[in-house]
Chains A and B, each alone.
Chain A
Amino acid sequence: MTLKLGVPSKGRLMEKTFDWFAKRGVTLSRTGSDREYAGAVEGVSNMELVLLSAGEIPRELAAGRIHLGVTGTDLVQEKLPRFEQQVEGLAEMGFGHADLILAVPQFWIDVDTLDDLDAAASAFRVQHGHRLRIATKYHRLVREFLTDAGVADYQLVDSQGATEGTVKNETAEMVADITSTGETLRANHLKLLSDGLVLKSQATLWRSRVAKYAADEKAALNTLLDLLEARK
């Protein structure tokens, strides 16, 4: 059997992953046409490349269908309860940096901390008859963060894209989203809460604790780990 490595199938994340492995003596490449999701590995024998959508990689790791996978900390923590028991982070890869943050309209000069947010949410509910809406696609992470901080009277509304626009469209009062530079936030007249950093994320190489490792797969994993170690 072969050691299966799941890598995001598209875009910059795939290219950067290929570069990262190349620097460590492992050549990953796509085979066949551009549309075909097949890949090849050179440098480690008995290793196989599986191209997947980045969002599916946590699930595949947790199911043990792949042994290794590259995806963001944010996706792993959002999708896998008690993720530490299901996967082990082998290496932070130094790209794909993104922070999951809470942001409110810039003109809310009275709201800078979670403490302010909680008070504003309470008054908002009284005024408008519904809870203050936060648009996000990271429901679990945001809810756990706000529960832990003791913020009440909010509700999460699902937003799978163009999240920063929801405030202007009045489908949400604020957002919880991934940002790398904050430019999109500023362009949409939003600002960060000073203590509203939910999670710092970057592309990470994960190992499944659930997958079975046969002898040749274990050997392939050790070869790979040695290569990664040599480069540190």
Chain B
Amino acid sequence: MALRSDIQARAAMLRVRFEAAGGQVVDTPLLQPAGTLLDLYGEDIRARAYVTTDALRGEQMLRPDFTVPVVEAHMRHGAEPARYTYSGEVFRRQEMDPDRPNEYLQVGYEVFERDDAAAADAEVFSLFALQVRGLPLRAATGDIGILMAAVQGLNTTEKRKAALMRHIWRPRRFRALLDRFAGRAAVPESRRKLLETEGDLTGSAVEIGKRRASEVQARIDALREDAKAPPIAENELLALEALMAVRETVPYASEQMRDIAVDLPQINPALDRLDARTAAMKARGVDVENLDFEASYGRTSMEYYDGFVFGFYAEARPDLPPIASGGRYDALTRQLGDGEEIPAVGGVIRPDLMLQLEEARA
């Protein structure tokens, strides 16, 4: 394990480099109001973040990441375009693995930029690639935006699409919904009975609680309506599955996805954006011919990203989290911006892990 002072020195060096790249230094409080984070991540965040309380401010969390407070600060009083850098501790509860630290330093770089998303994506990726150059790492990339475009363009009801979009970061529930909407899954007995009856279903059971009978009826109506809608077509479903399974180098992945786009033409604009990004990365000297691309990358662990995603992994140490990771999070700025929004992309790097790998190599 590297010395704390060495880790801090490395963090300071990385931040200076990010400043040189144009980042303005920002700092955010260690204690974050829990409400925003809970709204965003749901109850799952409690498993990962330390929660504390006082009588005055209620629940607060020890900063689990910088992105949310940095976006909030930018939405409040940021000029455009903006580039930010920061360095500091983040805290993660560890209940499963005692070897993982519950406090570590992160150094980040975020770009808020309306024009030329491809250039901004390439700028962030190549800046992080530069910091880890020489380390035995594998770069993984993906693009959640392609899968989102595929879902939004399906020939099915808006409600089904909204349900699928809501679970895009929960692959198991997404799969279950897809099977249901495609008519592959057996209808549970209870639902079959509900659908067979007609009219209002006001039973004898007592109405208690804040969820009212009208809401129960509204859901039954929605289920009946959904039962009338035709299943998602076989060709669309197969194409969507093929898309989720794409795992290739960037040029081959792009080619494969263009084939898939014959059945899912809605993904073509997203594929154009991928190609523009690839060109921008190439222009910055990234070896895109050998860069990996996975269409499903980032679906389980990177929940607010909705476009380009990337991570750098130690090949010999699959037990380690990514040394650096990041992506595009346009929707997050919309959610935190009270109606305002700005396209944003950024990433973070772990100086402690960098030093650990360098020591192992020496």
Contacts and interface: CB of A to CB of B under 8 A. Distances in A.
Interface of A: 81-82, 105-113, 115-116, 118-120, 122-124, 127-128, 131-132, 139-140, 143-144, 146-147, 149-156, 167-168, 170, 172-174, 189, 194
25 contacts: A105-B207, A105-B211, A106-B205, A107-B208, A107-B213, A110-B219, A112-B188, A115-B188, A118-B173, A119-B219, A122-B166, A123-B218, A124-B215, A128-B210, A143-B47, A146-B43, A152-B166, A152-B170, A154-B42, A155-B38, A155-B43, A156-B43, A173-B211, A189-B206, A194-B188
Interface residues of B, number: 37
B229 interface: no
A109 B44 contact: no
Contacts of A155: 38, 42-43
A123 B219 contact: yes
A150 B167 contact: yes
B215 A107 contact: no
Given A119-B163, A152-B167, A106 B206 contact: yes
B44 to A, nearest CB: 5
Contacts of B210: 128, 170, 173
Interface of B: 38, 42-44, 46-47, 95-96, 163, 166-167, 170, 172-174, 176, 180, 188, 190-191, 194, 201, 203, 205-211, 213, 215-216, 218-220, 223
Nearest to B214: A127
B42 A105 contact: no
B43 A110 contact: no
A107 B173 contact: no
Given A143-B44, A147-B44, A105 B208 contact: yes
Nearest to B172: A150
A109 B190 CA distance: 9
Contacts of A116: 190-191
Contacts of A150: 167, 170, 172-174, 176
Contacts of B191: 112-113, 116
Given A82-B96, A108-B211, A150-B172, 14 more contacts: A105-B205, A113-B188, A115-B180, A115-B188, A128-B210, A139-B46, A143-B43, A143-B46, A146-B43, A147-B47, A155-B43, A156-B43, A173-B209, A173-B211
Nearest to A149: B173
B42 A109 contact: no
Interface centre among B42, B166, B173, B218 (most CB of A within 10 A): B42
B173 to A, nearest CB: 3
B209 A167 contact: yes
Contacts of B209: 105, 167-168, 170, 172-174
A155 B40 CA distance: 12
B48 to A, nearest CB: 11
